[in-house]
Amino acid sequence: MAKSKGGAKTAVWILMGLLILGLGGFGATSFSSSVRSVGSVGDQDITTADYGRALQNEMRALEAQTGQSISFEQVETLGIDGQVLNRLIADAAVDSEASRVGLSVGDETLAKQLRGIPAFTGVDGKFDRDAYKFALDRAGLGESEFEDSIRRETARALVQGAVVSGRALPAPYIDTVLQYFAERRRVTWARVDSSQLNQEVFEPSEEELRALYQDEIESFTRPEMKRITYAWLTPEMIMDQVEVDETLLREAYEDRRAEYNRPERRLVERLIYADEGRAAQARDALDNGSATFDALVEARGLTLDDIDMGVSQVLRGEDHVSNTAVQIQIFTALFAAGFAAHEGAAKSLPQFAHEALLVGKEGKLSKRLGSLGCDAFREAGIEPEAIIALLARLGTSQPIEPIADRALLTQSFDLATFGRAPAKFDEADLERINAAIVHQLPFDAVKERLPEGMDEAGWHAVQPNLAHVHEAAEWWRLVTGPIEAREFSQEDRAYLAEAAETLTWGDNPWGALTMALKEATGRKGKALFLPLRQALTGMDHGPDMGELLPLIGEAEARARLRAAAG
């Protein structure tokens, strides 16, 4: 595997060289190391380092999805190199616009975002400067470079949000505003009073005034008004004073029987399966009595409320606008046939709304095209809260955030924020949100899905390293063992032997051990921590050792250090 990844990296650097050579044909006159850009948009350069890093990330993501190494030939065949470059060009265009309008992110916002990244927190859950520097060193990034990228991404999101939420003004409104601000008229006027008149001022007589009043009486009088006095009497006010004959009541009932008798209603419940084979198995289980309908629903992680067809609102993609009228006719016919919703559900036609059409890499999401459904996401370890958080904001002007609380999503959900342009459903975004959701889940919400023996302390230790809950089992193996044996230099073996003898147990055994070893050996940073982590867990990275070491236990920890020391 390591060899395959090395070949992929070599292919990436070959691509960099070819790009630089290709740029020579478009005016680049130097083939030296001074060539650092593959293109630019406005004042924003797309550096070779950015392109190489983005291409490597895309290749690693594809390798993680397929479970096999990806060659450079496959990258070219799939057109990934062009997709990455197009994405960087689009980002650079947005960055250029943000720079043009003077949009930037302040230090306070940047600091808040850095504090919210789990990889930069210490054992106390707060931002840790050393963890921050160590994570950037592993990624090959400098602090200023990383912080500049965060600023650009935030500014880019603001620009994109403004564009997505934009609304075109009606043409009459635009014309009216332009006329108001741009239209000009030239006016010449002169004041004239009675002293400037050559003739004698006209003095009307009483008869002339009366005649004018009669001719323009509507201008001098207001409409006729009347004062009305009324009494308000309702049936509730007199029902205890008036006796109604039983015979009259029955006659009135018979005359209006259609109003009081409702047609027969049926409750329709439907359980959908991804393929016909699974549906046939469920039908056989119902027929032979080995399972009830309620049990089948529960096995799918659903409730009866999820499948009852008491439809009150229908929210679909904009591509269904054209057939909504037909759907309304179908519902009308069903109601007329007696297939109305059961008691407590909708008793009228559903309300229809349409949101931005979701598209994927292959275009429109469709079962015929093999697009993933919720069953596939469930099997992949995607939390329901992650799917809800993504779909509640996808295609809107609101930022997509890992919000696990459905009440908060409900409060901010507004169909008016959805645009009409197609919205891209990216599985990478879903994975990112899912990881953030997993980092928020309390122990009680996941304890039934954790490996045997993992308690709340174990969950808190591995939780920041999880992208899916089922990955907890792999990290828990670092506690229960066995772990992978690592090869150490003679110097490191002596260091680990000293660590085994130095190890003492207390409230913070990891802190006490590293502090004592630092004073005794003079080691610091990577030389101090990495051999200990490798000896205790068999890995170069993983959960915080301050939380992990107490779970391993004193005897097991000492035995692992001695085994690594040889």
CATH 1.10.10.350 domain residues, the chain: 480-565
Tokens, residue 562: 């001695």
Question: CATH class for domain 480-565?
Answer: mainly alpha
Give the side-chain half-sphere CA count within 13 A for 497: 9
Is 1.10.4030.10 the CATH number for 2-164? Answer: yes
Tokens, residue 378: 């469930």
Tell me the mean pLDDT in the region 480-491. Answer: 89
Taking only the tens place, the pLDDT of each residue in 207-236 is 888 888 888 888 888 878 888 998 888 888
Element spanning 493, H or E: helix 490-502
β partners of residue 37: 47
Amino acid (one-letter) located at 247: T
CATH 1.10.4030.10 domain residues, the chain: 2-164
How far from each other are the two terminal CA atoms of the chain, in whole angstroms? 28
Does residue 503 sit in helix, strand or coil?
Answer: coil
Q: Are 479 and 551 in contact (CB under 8 A)?
A: yes
Residues 515, 342: Cα–Cα separation, whole Å = 69
For the chain, helix (H) and strand (E) counts, in that order, are: 29, 7
The pLDDT of residue 537 is 92
Q: Give me the sheet containing 363-364, strands edge to edge.
A: 363-364, 358-360, 423-424
Tokens, residue 442: 């309390």
Picking from 33, 7, 6, the residue whose alpha carbon sits closest to that of residue 20 is 33
Taking only the tens place, the pLDDT of each residue in 106-157 is 777 878 878 778 777 776 667 777 777 777 777 667 787 788 888 888 877 7
Q: Which three-class secondary structure string do you get for 107-140?
A: HHHHHHHHHCCHHHECCCCCECHHHHHHHHHHHC
Taking only the tens place, the pLDDT of each residue in 515-551 is 999 999 998 888 889 999 999 999 888 888 988 999 9
> Which residues neighbour 277 within 8 Å (Cβ) at sequence distance 6 or greater?
none
pTM assigned to the model? 0.45
